[in-house]
Structure formats: structure tokens, C-alpha cells
Amino acid sequence: MPIQLRRVYLDTIRERYLNAPKKAKKLILDEFCMNCGYSRKYAIRILNGKITPRSKKPGPEPVYDNSFVYHLHELWIAMNQICSKNMKAALPLWLPYYGKADARIEKLLVQVSPATIDRLLKPYKAGKVRGLSTTSPSLIKNKIPIQLLDSEITQAGFIEADTVAHCGESLHGKYINTLTMTDLMSGWTENRAVWSKEGEFIVNLIRDIERDLPFKLLGFACDNGTEFLNHDLHDYLVRRDEPVTFVRRRPYKKNDAAHVEQKNFTHVRQLFGYERLENPQFVRIMNEIYRTLWNPLLNFFTPNLKLIKKEREGAKLRKTYDKPKTPYQRLMESEKLNPKEKAELREKMKAKNPFYLKEQLESRLKIFSQLLEEEKRIQKLRGKTG
């Protein structure tokens, strides 16, 4: 029973207890102990007025009150529900733009630990859904060697690529796909939507992404799908003045491309979900969101963990991660990025505001959701009339 109700209950039962005969007092005492969970001796002292029950829990007041949890949750939503360790590293980057919390709350936000963030946000977290795989084997795979490109990567420019199908629950028919390219050293990620996964279209997307990358493309790794293992992409990467190292991962070994595979959820599914997108007109809207809002928000203001090493101890595998950093921070710390590239990156960073990006993102996604609902309504009407 809550403390407030116990006080009201005590006031109503005390007078009855004091004026009751001995046998009735026993029944009242039994009822009081059962409802409030008190021991009999403690209950007798309370009913006789010798002591007063505690009005609150013992111990100091909680440091992280409801007001703090409100702001923590607001920031967590704005940061796209990232994990606690990454959020801890992101808070100093976001707080200068926040402006909604007082000095006390901001101080607590800076000092809160990842474990406490997990505990306070636990009621707001939900499960995940999984999508379908559309990887189909290629006929020229023997021309492209199998190699784990990320063995000792210390320089930006070595990319892993993958595609995500926005097919809903069925692979039948045509639908939009998203190409994801992730730099192994920094975690810098770019996404582009495309209507067809044919080789020439994927090459055009890769060419477009390469122009936007803040570093030079040095290596390219992919799975064994036909969208990558084709003559168009092979010629584009290999037959240039400075050829790009083009390798593929082992078939049916998803963990070989773990860097980009995990981005399929954090950079694609978390944004557009698992809906079926079969209107080619959505491609332009999606690419505008990816290029101008979503990718800058993640690359400049969203830290991530990077695996440093793995050690096997008997049956256990111990993994060691570095300190959470944004892809921008990792690039700026790199000694192999030239001063001109760093200066351009720094200027881009100065022009960004994470809350403005998030606000515009929510606005565009709302419009996109309305267009998607209208598309579903039209398809439903066509199904009825057909």
C-alpha cells in the first residue's frame, strides 16, 4: 500500500482501535498488519500513538529525479536511442545545443554513468524486428578474391558495402533498396536509396557517395551478391589510374562484414523501418533525408564503439573496445588524413546543429510517413476495384 494511503488508513483505524475492547483490538490489529505489512509490535506502537510511521523511504534523496529522467529521455530520443556508452560520449557534444535544462540538470547529465543511463531508460526500451535477405550469388566472383579487409586497418578509405531491401514481408516484385557504405577505421557511413540493384545503378550510387566522402577511397569489400560482383563495378574500381582494392567476404559468413551489417539497423531500419517501399518516387525523398540530415547527424554527433581486439580465454571470448567517439572525431585524430581534408571537415562541423538536424529529420519523416500512408490507401482501393 502506498505511504499516502497508509496515512489515511491509519487516521481512520486509530480511533476505532483505541476505543475498542480487547478482543476487538486483536482483530483490528490483525487487519492493520495484513494491509500495511507491519510487524505486530511496530503496529501496536503506531496505533497507540507512541511513534509515527515513516513518511518516506529511508536514506538520502535520489540524485536522478523525474525531471532529470525527462531530459535524459528527451536526449536519448533525439540521439536515435543509441546505447548508454555511446550516449555518455555524445552528451558533451549535444548539450551546448540543447538549451532546455538548467545548470543542475546539465551537470548531472555530464556526470551520469552508462550503467545508470541503462537503468533509468529501461522502461522505454523495446524489442527489435528483423528483415529479409536478398543476396543472390554472382557469376564473376572468382575474379574477386576473398579477404578480411579489416585485419589491420589504420587508415580511412577502406570501405565495407551492403544493401538493405525495403521489401516488407515479401521479396516478390520490385521495391526500393538502400546502399550502405561504412569506413572501417572511423565508422563514417553513407547511405543512398536506389530503385534497382542492377550493377550500373549501384556503380552510380558508389560514384555519388565517393564524391561526398571526406577521404580517398582505397579499398572496397562486399558480400557475394550480384549487385556488387559484376563487371560494371569491377571495372569502375580496378580500371582507374589508382586502382581500389576490391575484395569480397566469405559466403554465408555475415560476421565477416560486421561493420556494415550492424549499420543496416542503426542507419537504415531505425530510420525507415521494415515497411515495403514500392514507389520509385520515394527514392528522391529518401536520398535527400540520407544525404542532408541523417548521415550528418550520425557522422558528426553520434559516437560509436570500435572493437580493438578479441582474446579467447578457454570457452570465453573477451572483447576490448575503445572509448566511444564519433566518426568525425576519429577522422580528426587520424594522422593519415591531410590538413586540407581536416580543414574541410572542421568547416562542415561548424555549420551543423544536432537539434536542428533532428527537428528537420522528424519533419521530413512525417511527410514521408503521410505519403506512404496515402500510397497504401491507393493500393488498397486498386485492390478492391481490381
* Global model pTM greater than 0.85: no
11-29: pLDDT as tens digits: 788 888 888 888 888 888 8
pLDDT score recorded for residue 137: 54
Residues 238 and 110 in one domain: no
52 found inside a domain: no
Question: The domain containing residue 34 runs over which residues?
Answer: 3-47
Which positions of the chain have pLDDT values less than 70? Answer: 1, 4, 51-59, 126-143, 145-151, 384-386
The percent of residues in the chain predicted with pLDDT above 90, rounded, is 48
Q: Is position 328 within any domain?
A: yes
Query: Quick check: is 155 in a domain?
Result: yes
The domain that holds 291 is classified in CATH as 3.30.420.10
Note the pLDDT of residue 220: 93
Q: Does 214 share its domain with 260? A: yes
Is 210 within a domain? yes
Residues 11 and 78 in one domain: no
Number of separate domains in the chain: 3
3-state SS of the chain is CCHHHHHHHHHHHHHHHHCCCHHHHHHHHHHHHHHHCCCHHHHHHHHCCCCCCCCCCCCCCCCCCHHHHHHHHHHHHHCCCCCHHHHHHHHHHHHHHHCCCCHHHHHHHHHCCHHHHHHHHHHHCCCCCCCCCCCCECCCHHHCCECCCCCCCCCCCEEEEEEEECECCCCCCCCCEEEEEEECCCCCEEEEEECCCCHHHHHHHHHHHHHHCCCCCCEEEECCECCCCCHHHHHHHHCCCCCCEEEECCCCCHHHHHHHHHHHHHHHHHHHCCCECCCCCHHHHHHHHHHHHHHHHHHHHCCECCEEEEEEECCEEEEEECCCECHHHHHHHCCCCCHHHHHHHHHHHHCCCHHHHHHHHHHHHHHHHHHHHHHHHHHHHHHHHC
**Same domain for 89 and 197?**
no
Question: pLDDT tens across 132-187, in order?
Answer: 656 555 556 666 766 665 557 788 999 999 999 998 888 888 899 999 999 999 99
Domain-embedded: residue 129: no
Q: Is the domain of 226 the same as that of 325?
A: yes
